[in-house]
Chain A
Amino acid sequence: ETGVTQTPRHLVMGMTNKKSLKCEQHLGHNAMYWYKQSAKKPLELMFVYNFKEQTENNSVPSRFSPECPNSSHLFLHLHTLQPEDSALYLCASSQEGGQAKQYFGPGTRLTVT
């Protein structure tokens, strides 16, 4: 395995629900990322954290709220999502930010009903 774990692996939620995705890395890395992967589309970078500071937010709607309490953990809080938000959400980490090699978790398959 890559050393990056994500929970839950699958999630079904209604549009009025609030849920959170969790990512944990056991690699001692300093940068963590959230990506959205929709079918037949390129990965979309959502958020980047470097040393617990958010360094990038790629115009992501406010219904997605990231949290990085420490360098090993990253959360994505979800509320009032839309059906088009259904996708695979991937977490990744790297030793440092920039172009360092990223290690991906297995993803959370999210379905919004």
Chain B
Amino acid sequence: KNQVEQSPQSLIILEGKNCTLQCNYTVSPFSNLRWYKQDTGRGPVSLTIMTFSENTKSNGRYTATLDADTKQSSLHITASQLSDSASYICVVSESLNNDMRFGAGTRLTVKP
């Protein structure tokens, strides 16, 4: 079982709507959690990074939250745009040996 589980696997929303993507992890001991955006045909690009002491971080219309007690993170996208169509990947780093664990991603499609 993967140590980083993302849900839903795919999501379709209408332009202008909000959505929330989930990331649950079992990685321990925890160091940090990143959300990446991967456009089709491109490599992932980092959106946010959160450490143990941070529970929310924003990057424009993207807001990530972290609950280190329940080992859950979410990525909230506000007022979605067509350009938000991409895969969103959650990556959790372990503090002992710096291993990074990748989720399988959520494929978001924003329709006009």
Task: Write out, one digit per residue, whether chain B residues 90-112 have a CB within 8 A of any chain A CB (1) or not (0).
Answer: 00010000101111110000000
For the complex formed, measure the closest distance between the CB of A59 and the CB atoms of chain B, giving whole angstroms: 14
Instruction: State in angstroms the CA–CA spacing of A91 and B100 once bound together.
Output: 15
Partner of B46, one of A41, A91, A102: A102
What is the size category of the interface that chain A forms with chain B? 20 to 34
Partner of A45, one of B2, B42, B89, B100: B100
Closest Cβ neighbor of B34 among chain A residues: A101
Closest Cβ neighbor of A91 among chain B residues: B43
Q: Does A105 contact B (CB under 8 A)?
A: yes
**Would A106 and B43 count as touching, CB distance under 8 A?**
yes
Query: Would A43 and B9 be within 8 Å (CB), given that A90-B43, A102-B46 are in contact?
Result: no
**Would A99 and B32 count as touching, CB distance under 8 A?**
yes
Q: What are some 7 contacts across the A-B interface (CB < 8 A)?
A: A4-B43, A41-B104, A43-B44, A99-B98, A104-B44, A106-B42, A107-B41
Interface residues of chain B, those whose CB is within 8 Å of chain A, are: 2, 4, 9, 31-32, 34, 41-46, 49, 89, 93, 98, 100-105
Interface residues of chain A, those whose CB is within 8 Å of chain B, are: 2, 4, 40-45, 90-92, 97-99, 101-107
